[in-house]
Chains A and B, each alone.
Chain A
Amino acid sequence: MEVASARQYEPVIGLEIHVQLATDTKMFCGCELSFGLDPNTRTCPVCLGHPGVLPVPNRRAIEFGLMIGLALGCEIAPRSIFHRKNYFYPDNPKAFQISQYDVPLCSGGELAGVRVHRAHLEEDAAKLVHAGESGRIHGAEASVVDFNRAGTPLVEIVTEPDIHSAAEAAEWARLLRETLRALGVSDVNMDEGSLRVDGNVSIRPAGEATLGVKTELKNMNSFRFLERGLDAEIARQEGILREGGQVEQETLHFDNRTGALSSLRSKEEAHDYRYFPEPDLVPIAPTEAMIEMARAAIPELPLARAERFERDHDLPADSARLLAFRGEQGDFFEAALAVSPSDPRTLANYVVNDVPPGSAATPEAVAKLVDLIGAGTVSRGAAKEVLEVLAAEGGDPEQIVADRGLGAAGGDELGAIVDQAIAENAGAVEKIREGKDQAIGAIVGAVMRQTKGRADGGEVQKLIRERIGA
């Protein structure tokens, strides 16, 4: 008989991502976008929801929406419409949010095996600041509203529930962020809220096809917190099911500091948003030319770049991804590779591990260093030291090698050092002759210590074997 506590559960996760678009102006008015400015300095009658005002859609936001949709492989609706989503809250100046409902701009895409249900345009809310200890509107001594953010263009991306672990969710969200960054449509800064990720989580007995009751998880403002929050919620749901309970449909708030989950609202408290078509706006009907322009504006995206690095330069999958998902380092790698195409793996390794973004090293210098290794002028060990100098101070690798005496040990110099090491490690020599080949390490180590790593390990082994005739 199967015991409930021994049962394996499979998490089923879908993500909802809000992306603030990096347009010059707001979604439906001419106010400039801003972050960190004095409160209520970027407002007008439209984004304050004054009587009599009307929304006018931001063309650039629609273009960005098209780029996102096309980059995610979505269908673009020939006529998508805006709806009003009605709810009262002080951060919602019109008491309705203009969003898209049954006909979104983009639907049915896919990114790295996760299906994208839809991507639609909407406007952001204002920012509430609560005075008092609670930090929330309940129990606040006073609440004030900063409308600078109100009306900022957003694209909301909703995935299908195709993700099956918190780590996978965080990994996919990272890829999405890099994809959006490559598109140049958003600052994608989770700290500042220009990228916000909510999770829909349910669990089911492994192998079953039906979906469990899902909860919605909010306020995870970094990938680390996203993973932690999802893991906490998966564990909470497992605990409930193992004790024979039932998961309630609700919206949960994740506390970054304590890791605790608290209920924001239950199913009974869910809003009836009374969506209806926004009569102040006409449908968005992108022309072929607009769609083609948006398509042409899409650069090579991280996923494709990683595949290209793997395929064309024979990089291991993880370093290909590391480079491709950090656009700046990917660019550095490609610039260096153009100078020195001989050893992409070594180059990739250095770019990933040794020259952090913003270091003093130039792609040309790192490329030259790889060439010096290839020519046997610098050993791999010494190259690490050259990289440190390059990263900290910049400069020319050949000059650094010369100035610091880091040139590869070789010829008579190396021969003499090897002879000395053999003489000082008679025991090891004996063992090698008995067939215990790994004993050669002791002699190699001695040579490396003596040369301060300037010798090539392969070369040293070769010399040792020649001399002891093994």
Chain B
Amino acid sequence: MTSELLSLTAAQAAERTRAGDLDPRELWDLYRERAGADDLGAYLWLPDDAPEMDASGPLGGVPLAVKDLFCVEDVPSTSGSRILEGYRPPYTATSVRKLVDAGAPMLGKTNMDEFAMGSSNENSGYGPVKNPWDESRVPGGSSGGSAAAVAAGLAPWAIGTDTGGSIRQPAALCGIVGLKPTYGAVSRYGMIAFASSLDQCGPLTRDVTDAALLFGQMTGRDPCDSTSLDYPADPRLPSAERLDGLRFGVPKELLDTEGIEPGVRAVFDTTVKRIEELGATVEEIALPHSGHGLAAYYVLAPAEASANLARYDGVRFGIRAEAPDLLSMYEETRAQGFGDEVKRRIMLGTYALSSGYYDAYYGQAQKVRTKIADDFRAAFERVDLIVTPTSPTTAFPLGARTGDPLAMYLSDVLAVPMSLAGIPAISIPGGLADGLPVGVQLAGPAFSEFEICDAAYALERAIGFGDLPWK
């Protein structure tokens, strides 16, 4: 019974609970017990008591793991940082509230890179997360806890956030599905900000159907978020079996990126063949400025972060260091509370915004960002969707890149351009390379999530991945 329950996708489980064939409490107990026995470091907090169970909503009472970056009223919310140790927000993030209201009670808070800065989850202030496929390897990041929990069957589904790949890359490395929505499609209110102009939250799920189901309940304009927009389409679940008539583009510049592992390349090439077999055309396209995406990203995101993280000053919440005067209190609190990578990015960002350097760094990076968005716009005149590997590599060993920030940053080289352009992209498992999952990324124009999910669904069926480490 247990393994049968466990093998249900979230959408399948919701269908049963809504039909009255399954008590959602049974589902809760199963996952709460598994989450409690988590030995991957995937969770940072679990509730003591079961919530009121209600299977009547569209999400059927299927429990949801929530990245620790989301504020939840009275629940520890640290964004993976020691500086917010003990912090319990006085309010709940809009996206979490919407999902709970739609019938997905919160199962727990998941581990992450501190303030979402990282690609391996090793920057967490509360210890790393292990990849359930190989516990000596990283799960990716920054939503590493959410990805590992879903892949290991410690949660039916999860939400995470993606600033420059933080949903897609861990989804790829853990062999699950991760969807980064269009910027503005989902409210950011209550998401502890990393880089405000890039942050978006989205689902991490076992399959594309679950991702579409969860995403459909997250969207919409929020009066608390001036940058959020009404979603222009009604939610729907994917059903396409073929890709007839669709045009796919493979961006030359991104595929030429140095460091794409042969195993990743092989899975990608196979996937492209499958796309053609399903009736779509595949052509090479140009995204001429995408090669500069990572450089622009590592100016813009740290610049915004340097301001977003300035509020952690020891005055109102989180930890406060005892010090003889105000300046030392600020310095000591931040020295103790932030990890190395966060400090590195605050320094980078502060420098990029400094008087005399602004134009050369921040101003220039904004121009590159505009060019990259223009590149995508032009590309979508020719093709419907763009396909790339999600990450140049499979999951790498714990500790392999902690001493080399630039190598770590390269993990997101294929994911960052879409973030800069604000467009949606999904990562689905394409197959295995040396026993480790490889993700394939599909990107489309703004607000094309359901079209992307349709194509990803057809491809998912053709690939027939279905593997998860506990199966």
Interface residues of A (CB under 8 A from B): 45, 48-57, 84, 86, 88, 90, 93-96, 137-138, 145, 272, 274-276, 279-282
Contact = CB atoms under 8 A, between A and B. Distances in A.
A137 B358 CA distance: 32
B71 A52 contact: yes
A282 B228 CA distance: 10
Rank and list the top 4 A-B pairs by shortest CB-CB distance, nearest first: A95-B310, A279-B197, A274-B353, A279-B196
A121 to B, nearest CB: 14
B226 A94 contact: no
Given A54-B224, A88-B310, A274 B193 contact: no
Contacts of A54: 188-189, 224-227
Interface string B66-90: 0000110000010100001001011
B310 A56 contact: no
B310 A96 contact: yes
Contacts of A48: 316
Nearest to B73: A45
Nearest to A274: B353
A275 B192 CA distance: 21
A145 B316 CA distance: 10
Contacts of A53: 91, 189-190
B353 A276 contact: yes
Interface in B342-362: 350, 353-355, 358, 362
A96 B307 CA distance: 7
Contacts of B36: none
A274 B305 CA distance: 13
A53 B311 CA distance: 11
Query: Helix, strand, loop or mixed for chain A's interface?
Result: loop
29 contacts: A48-B316, A50-B316, A50-B317, A51-B71, A51-B77, A51-B84, A51-B87, A51-B193, A51-B312, A51-B317, A52-B190, A52-B191, A53-B91, A54-B188, A54-B189, A56-B224, A86-B307, A93-B315, A94-B311, A145-B315, A272-B354, A272-B355, A274-B350, A274-B358, A276-B304, A279-B227, A279-B304, A281-B226, A282-B226
A57 B326 CA distance: 31
Contacts of A281: 226-227
Given A52-B93, A88-B313, A280-B227, A274 B354 contact: yes
Nearest to A87: B310
Contacts of A50: 71, 89-91, 316-317
A51 B70 CA distance: 9
B372 interface: no
Contacts of B326: 90, 137
B112 to A, nearest CB: 14
B464 interface: no
A48 B312 CA distance: 12
Given A274-B350, A276-B358, A281-B226, A52 B310 contact: no
Contacts of B469: none
B447 interface: no
Contacts of A274: 306-307, 350, 353-355, 358
Residue in B71, B313, B317, B354 with the greatest tally of chain A CB atoms within 10 Å: B313
A122 to B, nearest CB: 15
A229 to B, nearest CB: 27
Interface residues of B, number: 44
Most buried by B among A48, A138, A145, A276: A276
A276 B196 contact: no
B316 A93 contact: yes
A93 B189 CA distance: 17
Nearest to B70: A52
A3 to B, nearest CB: 42
B223 interface: yes
A93 B312 CA distance: 9
Contacts of A282: 226-227
A279 B183 CA distance: 12
A247 B207 CA distance: 71
A145 B311 CA distance: 15
Contacts of A45: 89-91
Nearest to A82: B226
Given A50-B89, A50-B317, A274-B353, A93 B311 contact: yes
Given A45-B91, A282-B227, A51 B353 contact: no
A55 B303 CA distance: 19
Residue of B71, B311, B313, B362 with most chain A CB atoms under a 10 A cut-off = B311
A52 B362 contact: no
B316 A49 contact: yes
A86 to B, nearest CB: 5
Interface string B294-331: 00000000011011001111011100000001100010
A88 B312 CA distance: 10
Contacts of B317: 50-51
A228 B374 CA distance: 58
Contacts of B192: 51-52
A128 to B, nearest CB: 11
Contacts of B84: 51
A51 B89 contact: yes
A57 B226 CA distance: 8
Contacts of B353: 86, 274-276
Nearest to B92: A52
Interface string B212-235: 000000000001111100000000
Given A94-B311, A276-B303, A280-B196, A51 B226 contact: no
B352 to A, nearest CB: 9
Interface in B159-206: 188-193, 195-197
Contacts of B358: 274, 276
Contacts of A84: 307
B126 to A, nearest CB: 16
A265 B188 CA distance: 38
A84 B307 CA distance: 8
Contacts of B195: 279
A39 to B, nearest CB: 14
A86 B304 CA distance: 11
Nearest to A139: B325
Nearest to B93: A52
Contacts of A86: 306-307, 310, 353
B78 to A, nearest CB: 9
A279 B365 CA distance: 15
A88 B70 CA distance: 25
A96 B312 CA distance: 12
A53 B197 CA distance: 14
For A45, A274, A281, which residue has the most chain B Cβ atoms within 10 angstroms? Answer: A274
Contacts of B350: 274
Given A51-B87, A51-B192, A54-B188, A276 B315 contact: no
Interface string B140-162: 00000000000000000000000
Contacts of B197: 279
A65 to B, nearest CB: 17
Given A51-B312, A282-B226, 5 more contacts: A45-B90, A50-B316, A57-B226, A94-B311, A281-B227
Contacts of A57: 226
Given A45-B90, A88-B310, A137-B326, A52 B189 contact: yes
Contacts of A49: 311, 316
A51 B350 CA distance: 19
A57 B310 CA distance: 21
Nearest to A282: B226
B310 A94 contact: yes
B144 to A, nearest CB: 20
Nearest to A143: B326
A280 B313 contact: no
B218 to A, nearest CB: 16
B248 to A, nearest CB: 32
Nearest to B349: A274
B261 to A, nearest CB: 34
Contacts of B223: 56
Nearest to A273: B355
Contacts of B191: 52
